[in-house]
Amino acid sequence: MAEFRMPSLGADMEAGTVIEWKVKPGDHVKRGDIIAVVDTEKAAVEIEVFEDGIIEKILVETGMKVPVGTVLAIIRPEEVPAGPRDLRERVPEASGAPVTLSTPSSRPPHAPHPMDLHGLPARSVKAGAERVKVSPYARRLAAELSVDLTALGGTGPEGTIRAADVERAATGRTIAGKLPVPPAGEKVAGQVPPEARPVAGDRREGMRRAIAAAMSRSNREIPHYYVQTRIDMSGALRWLEAENQKRSIEQRLLPVVLPLKAVALALREVPELNAYWMDDRHRPQEAVNIGFAIALRGGGLIAPALLQVDIKSLDNLMEDLRDLITRTRAGRLRSSELTAATITVTHLGDLGVEMVFGVIYPPQVALVGFGKIMEQPWAERGMLAVRPVLTATLAADHRATDGRRGARFLDAVNDYLQEPAKL
């Protein structure tokens, strides 16, 4: 019997209100299905389920506000052979918190790896028709998350299952990595019982409180260091202009996708910035999920994740960005998007500021800031010219990395932006 709990959708969330159940007792659910809508102080969020099964019982009615970790529903497993199922029963659950990877702050500090104790994942791998290649980290993760490795397709070299594949399976994401797009024009307000709908003023206040809590914690706990560099964007902008001329208006790329992709690729070279700091330990993450700070009309901001930016084409990235911004502003985010970010990018280029030094969103260890691309004097090879210049900054957690690595990272971002065709 599995307990479906109120998830923690970020370091700043303490409680949530169930505003809609999309299932009823007796319904069959699959991993990744959206089964409820929960209102946090920041937004209404679609909550995904992390296992297959049948809804046995709903324990929290719509309209009720309950603390993170409260059991919302009981899910009975479908009749399936034992094995991974057994494993799940033995995974100790963090007290009062859901056991999902995508909730970094609630992961048990030193979860024993059932794999080491029982050797189960290894056995299930052998049981597959052919031998499956699995990275060691992916194997450990699969054990922690009770993901059946034999049922996974790997995206690594020679079909190797990487941690990212496991995470995707755990969060119900398809192998293609494409986000299912909700039907256009659907309005969240229509599905919310009026009594549960927070008034705009409450939302604004709640959001301010949530941001205040997360940012105060960040400033209190994280020893930030900052580095900055100026990037000549003339090559990148020329390339983008030529690209966009070939495209219909719907397919045009916004300039911001170039630095986003450059950040993702640079993180491969300085992977320690793509990480969490939890329980006094630095925990690098394999998937590059960039939290993109999106300002909301009427104030406040949310930084939902663009998933696996390093392996996406610019077109896919643009598509995902458009989808994410639209759903963020319409209040239709999914739980995994609020918890999956491994680093944050903030982009204030539209507002005419030259640079931004950010406050890191815990438990992440870095935040990259981009300002407006501005024409500036540029000295090169003894000559003075005017170039479009993008100022990139990095705020990073000094517990996790040192300034030298931060500098290396910004240098790599610059290098990638000098060769836009390779992004």
Among residues 195, 250, 280, 380, which is the contact residue for another protein, using CB under 8 A?
250
Q: Is residue 125 within 8 Å of residue 143, measured between CB atoms? A: no
Among 122, 311, 325, 355, binds another protein (CB under 8 A): 325
- Answer whether the bond into residue 363 is a cis peptide, omega within 30°: yes
What character string, x for contact with another protein (CB under 8 A) and - otherwise, covers 283-302? ------------x-xx----
Q: Residue 64 — φ and ψ, nearest 5°? A: -90, 140
Cβ–Cβ contacts within 10 Å for residue 74, how many? Answer: 17
User: Is 349 a binder of another protein (CB under 8 A)?
Assistant: yes
Distance CA 239, CA 236 (A): 5
- Contact criterion met (CB below 8 Å) for 225 and 406: yes
| Residue 244 lies near another protein (rule: CB under 8 A) | yes
Which residue stretch of 153-161, 318-326, 376-384, 400-408 sits at the interface with another protein (rule: CB under 8 A)? 318-326
Least gap, CB of 244 to another protein (angstroms): 5
Residue closer to another protein (CB basis): 94 or 348: 348
CA dihedral sign of residues 375, 230, 343, 149: positive
Using the contact rule CB under 8 A, the part of the chain among 52-60, 147-155, 242-250, 380-388 near another protein is: 242-250
Q: Which stretch binds another protein (CB under 8 A): 45-53, 262-270, 319-327, 415-423?
A: 319-327
Number of residues forming the site for another protein (CB under 8 A): 18
Token duo for residue 389: 């210049």
Q: What is the DSSP letter of 211?
A: H
**Please, which residue, 5 or 347, has the CB nearer to another protein?**
347
Query: Which residues, 6+ apart, have CB-to-CB distance to 343 below 8 Å?
Result: 263, 267, 273, 274, 288, 289, 290, 291, 364, 365, 366, 367, 368
- How many whole angstroms separate alpha carbon 346 and alpha carbon 367? 7
Q: Would you give the DSSP letter of residue 364?
A: B
Q: How far is the CB of 239 from another protein (least distance, A)?
A: 13
> Measured from the CB atom, is 136 or 352 closer to another protein?
352
The binding site for another protein (CB under 8 A) comprises: 241, 244-245, 248-250, 252, 254-256, 295, 297-298, 321-322, 325, 349-350
